[in-house]
Structure 1
Amino acid sequence: MKIRTIKLSLPEVVGRGYATFWNFKGRYRVCKGSRASKKSKTTALWYITNMMKYPDANLLVIRKTYRTLKDSCFTELKWAIKRLQVEAWWEIKESPLEMTYIPTGQKIYFRGLDDPLKVTSITVENGVLCWAWLEEAYEVMNESDFDTLDESIRGEVPEGLFKQWTITFNPWNERHWLKKRFFDVDDDNVLAMTTNYMCNEWLDESDKKLFETMKKNNPRRYSVAGLGNWGIVDGLVYENWREEAFTPISQKEYNKLDDKNDKKYVILDSLKTTSGLDFGYTNDPTAFFMGFLDLENKKLYVWDEMYKKGLSNKAIHNEIVMMGYSKERITGDCAEPKSIDELKALGLRIRGAKKGKDSVMNGVQWIQDLEIIIHPRCINFLTEISNYTWETDKFGKKLNKPIDEFNHLMDAMRYALEEYIIGNKWLI
């Protein structure tokens, strides 16, 4: 049997800026970085290279919600396999997500925190589970959730192998537990580093221009999204929220349950279903909000979301249908009347928001009186609401309007609740 030999230069394949990251063998390898900083691609290249180097190593890849893995870590690892020209040695499955290194049977497992039992119950067939990659770690709001994950990488490893977490994220909020846990300590077992787009030699001039424009027009965002610095969050618009898992159910279904104590149930019979849509495309995501409003007790249950860039109106329709919300009444951004009409023609029950003078502040003030309970799977909603702050002037004085960022789902929520905010009736 003839074996094809591939000769690659890792520095040429991987690029610069990550030598320390690549060679570190301590327990926690933590990298916060700006957009386009290569942190995820470098991580993917490291894992494919080193799984082929260490025949007993297996990898667990985790994000807060399983459904986000396919378009992120799974895709990055497939890209790394192709870039290293080793496709013939890897078997890739999409249902469920899994990758196998054929010569040894080593595996890459993919799990979401939304199914914790599947995270803690992994048993590997060959070798040991010694490596884990937590991508977009900022989504994990509770440190105790990470502690539970950390315990899954335990036990002895063969000589020459080592146990290690790789934790990658965008540093939106300096108050996040990640800063205190990894960046504010002096520990030889922790590598905490910051990277940015300037170490990415594969960006072209148009890519770099985006950051230079951001630097000029939005210095606050550039500091985080451009340089990878911690986001300074001061003066949140909404402080009346909490993250909590819940299960929506009808009273009839609830009455049939034998065990009503193991989950937090929300009875839907007296609640109002609310849906809102904020349009985006190239630079901003299209954001769809789905929630349940308890008017009597002034509670809003945030149940589901869609948050994607580059969607045509047909694709928006398909996403909403696939999510199971094709029959819901949706209020969309009236600044896109053509899109509203197209979505209506495609069969969605959608209308444009009324807006009007002071509609943003009126909506914000109304929502501030609610208790907002956010399902943990709504990761983009959690990111936005924990970073949605008041605008400031050049002297640092807070203005009576929110910032024009972290606001796509915030706007979609406001559209969804508009008929209750201004008291109008829904017209079909």
Structure 2
Amino acid sequence: MRATIEEIPKITRNFARPARTRVFKGGRGSGKTRGLALRSALRVYQLAERGVEGVFLASREHLNSLDESSMEEIKAAIGSVPWLASYFDIGEKYVRTKNRRISYAFAGLRHNLDSIKSKARIIGNWTDEAESVSEVAWRKLVNTLREEGDGWIAENWISYNPESPESATHKRFVKSPAEDCIVTTVNWQDNPWFPSLLNAARLEDQRLRPETYEHVWEGEFLTLTDAQVFSGRYVVEEFEPEASWDGPYQGLDFGFAQDPTAAVRCYIHDRRLWIRHEAGSVRLELDGTAPHVKARISDFDRYVIRADSARPESISYLKRHGLPLIQAAEKWPGSVEDGVAFIKAFDKVVIHPDCEQTAREFRLYSHKVDKRSGDILPEIVDAHNHYIDATRYALAPMVRRRDAPMALFGTYAAQGRR
């Protein structure tokens, strides 16, 4: 059978040459995620037709549930091509060929890879959002992808938006790539189907948020500057809270279409703020909020939750549907700046590696920069702040207005404990 598939030309050119590793890096709107979802379905089809049996791995560094995986992208890509849709059996929690030769496995490289490897033959991998994958995880994965057959090898595909030249992903696959690795940069201007709505968002970022525009849209590294609010104020490290720590403190920020609904759980100890858990999703319906968050943060409903007071109707609904201890966080003119100042006053903010989106926001959250003079302005850009807002709400009882005489530390335990 011969068939024509439309795809981004740069993706086509990458796959025109043989390689064991294929890297696609770039900014938002490039279409690389949807393009590789479709390519994975084509790869699975081709191998299944050759009689190959096994699993094609769709992975991330951390994967707590299928909602956080690439499953929906893969389902959508398959559904967009009628003859692929008829070749696959797609269920609520699985995707496989109808001949049962190959199925997708959705896994976190950090915790799930060993169990999959022990059960099935891995015939290929695609890791999306790969910037934060650790070297330990890459070593484990690369050593796993050794399957090959007549005219095929198990390929490793990687897609991500670069943030740091020091990331394990950049060092391994771009700075010092193997000979059989092809690296392709794909950005919004390379996507023939770049939507006008997304272009409007791009132009707004270019005008209002120049300090992060190149990173978000052009795939450049995130340059650390004095404009970044939490530069040098946080670290990403593993830890587990102890019973003697103050907390937990829990916050929830509402979102929907473009912005995620975001929840966090954090603690205070030794003059440090410790952020241990996060949960969230874009387009999360209100009636799905409590189940979504409780599935990712255990006992979330047993402790006080402080949420955006601008949504009293949502707080009222959640109080009656799964989060009985939710309440509105107090706001006042300047409460954002006061909350940020409170967080910055800790000796350090420690973010657990499981909280990827929180760590990302702490990297991106920035002051406005005058586009003519380059001066850093006191106003904070209203972007990359949903998990940060949830953190501010969680700590709201301890935050004081700038003109309040109360000391920052010394009273928070009594005010913040349930």
- The structure 1 residue matched to 2:189, chosen from 183, 198, 202, is 198
Residue of structure 1 in register with 2:158 after alignment = 167
Q: Does 1:298 align with 2:296?
A: no
Q: Does 1:143 align with 2:143?
A: no
Quote the sequence identity (%): 25
Distance in 2, matches of 1:407 and 1:121, equals 38
Partner amino acid for 2:71? F
Farther off after superposition, 160-169 or 143-152: 143-152
Residues 215-274 of structure 1 deviation map (CA, whole Å, 9 limit, x = unaligned): 333344443333333332324433343334445xxxxxxxxxxxxxxxxxx332553110
Q: Does 1:372 align with 2:349?
A: yes
Residue of structure 2 in register with 1:3 after alignment = none
Q: Does 1:209 align with 2:228?
A: no
Q: TM-score, normalised by structure 2?
A: 0.81
Distance in 2, matches of 1:241 and 1:205, equals 36
Residue of structure 1 in register with 2:408 after alignment = none
Q: Does 1:75 align with 2:72?
A: yes
Question: For residues 169 and 329 of structure 1, do their structure 2 counterparts lie closer, same or farther at Cα, with a shift above 3 Å needed?
Answer: same
Distance in 1, matches of 2:370 and 2:198, equals 29
Where 1:326 maps in the other structure, the secondary structure is helix
Q: Does 1:396 align with 2:374?
A: yes
Alignment of 1:121-132 (within 5 A): 121-124=117-120, 129-132=122-125
Distance in 1, matches of 2:63 and 2:136, equals 19
Q: Does 1:352 align with 2:328?
A: yes
Gapped regions of structure 2 (runs ≥ 5): 401-410
Residue of structure 1 in register with 2:89 after alignment = 91
Contact 1:32/1:171, CA 8 A, preserved across alignment = yes
Distance in 2, matches of 1:51 and 1:205, equals 32
Residue of structure 1 in register with 2:390 after alignment = 412
For residue 202 of structure 1, report the CA deviation from its aligned partner.
Answer: 3.3
Partner amino acid for 1:169? Y
Residue of structure 2 in register with 1:230 after alignment = 221
Contact 1:120/1:152, CA 8 A, preserved across alignment = no
Partner amino acid for 1:90? F
For residue 356 of structure 1, report the CA deviation from its aligned partner.
Answer: 3.3
Residue of structure 1 in register with 2:22 after alignment = 29
Contact 2:209/2:368, CA 8 A, preserved across alignment = no
Q: Does 1:8 align with 2:3?
A: yes
Contact 2:236/2:351, CA 8 A, preserved across alignment = yes
Residues paired across the two proteins, number: 394
For residue 208 of structure 1, report the CA deviation from its aligned partner.
Answer: 3.4
For residue 169 of structure 1, report the CA deviation from its aligned partner.
Answer: 1.3
Q: Does 1:115 align with 2:111?
A: yes
Question: For residues 359 and 285 of structure 1, do their structure 2 counterparts lie closer, same or farther at Cα, with a shift above 3 Å needed?
Answer: same
Partner amino acid for 1:353? A
Q: Does 1:363 align with 2:339?
A: yes
Partner amino acid for 1:306? A
Residues 257-301 of structure 1 deviation map (CA, whole Å, 9 limit, x = unaligned): xxxxxxxxx33255311011222222222211112333xx22333
Residues 319-367 of structure 1 deviation map (CA, whole Å, 9 limit, x = unaligned): 3455542232122223334434444454532333334355444433432
For residue 45 of structure 1, report the CA deviation from its aligned partner.
Answer: 1.7
Question: For residues 108 and 310 of structure 1, do their structure 2 counterparts lie closer, same or farther at Cα, with a shift above 3 Å needed?
Answer: closer
Where 1:376 maps in the other structure, the secondary structure is coil
Distance in 2, matches of 1:74 and 1:300, equals 34
Question: For residues 357 and 39 of structure 1, do their structure 2 counterparts lie closer, same or farther at Cα, with a shift above 3 Å needed?
Answer: same
Where 1:352 maps in the other structure, the secondary structure is strand
Gapped regions of structure 1 (runs ≥ 5): 1-5, 248-265
- The structure 2 residue matched to 1:333, chosen from 301, 308, 333, is 308
Distance in 1, matches of 2:320 and 2:416, equals 18
Distance in 1, matches of 2:283 and 2:90, equals 26
Contact 1:300/1:372, CA 8 A, preserved across alignment = yes
Contact 1:114/1:377, CA 8 A, preserved across alignment = no
> How big is the alpha-carbon RMSD for the aligned residues of Structure 1 and Structure 2?
3.2
Partner amino acid for 2:305? I
Distance in 2, matches of 1:100 and 1:61, equals 13
Residue of structure 1 in register with 2:407 after alignment = none
Distance in 1, matches of 2:277 and 2:388, equals 13
Residue of structure 2 in register with 1:385 after alignment = 362
Partner amino acid for 1:34? G
Contact 2:249/2:416, CA 8 A, preserved across alignment = no
Q: Does 1:105 align with 2:101?
A: yes
Alignment of 1:264-275 (within 5 A): 266-268=241-243, 270-275=245-250
Partner amino acid for 2:127? L
Where 2:145 maps in the other structure, the secondary structure is coil
Residue of structure 2 in register with 1:49 after alignment = 42
Partner amino acid for 1:349? L
For residue 98 of structure 1, report the CA deviation from its aligned partner.
Answer: 4.6
For residue 78 of structure 1, report the CA deviation from its aligned partner.
Answer: 1.9
Question: For residues 366 and 170 of structure 1, do their structure 2 counterparts lie closer, same or farther at Cα, with a shift above 3 Å needed?
Answer: same
Partner amino acid for 2:56? L
For residue 416 of structure 1, report the CA deviation from its aligned partner.
Answer: 0.8
Distance in 2, matches of 1:37 and 1:206, equals 14
Partner amino acid for 1:60? L
Where 1:267 maps in the other structure, the secondary structure is coil
Question: For residues 170 and 365 of structure 1, do their structure 2 counterparts lie closer, same or farther at Cα, with a shift above 3 Å needed?
Answer: same
Distance in 2, matches of 1:399 and 1:244, equals 31
Question: For residues 90 and 162 of structure 1, do their structure 2 counterparts lie closer, same or farther at Cα, with a shift above 3 Å needed?
Answer: same
Contact 1:174/1:233, CA 8 A, preserved across alignment = no
Question: For residues 116 and 371 of structure 1, do their structure 2 counterparts lie closer, same or farther at Cα, with a shift above 3 Å needed?
Answer: farther
Where 2:73 maps in the other structure, the secondary structure is helix
For residue 413 of structure 1, report the CA deviation from its aligned partner.
Answer: 0.9
Question: For residues 186 and 340 of structure 1, do their structure 2 counterparts lie closer, same or farther at Cα, with a shift above 3 Å needed?
Answer: closer
Where 1:86 maps in the other structure, the secondary structure is helix
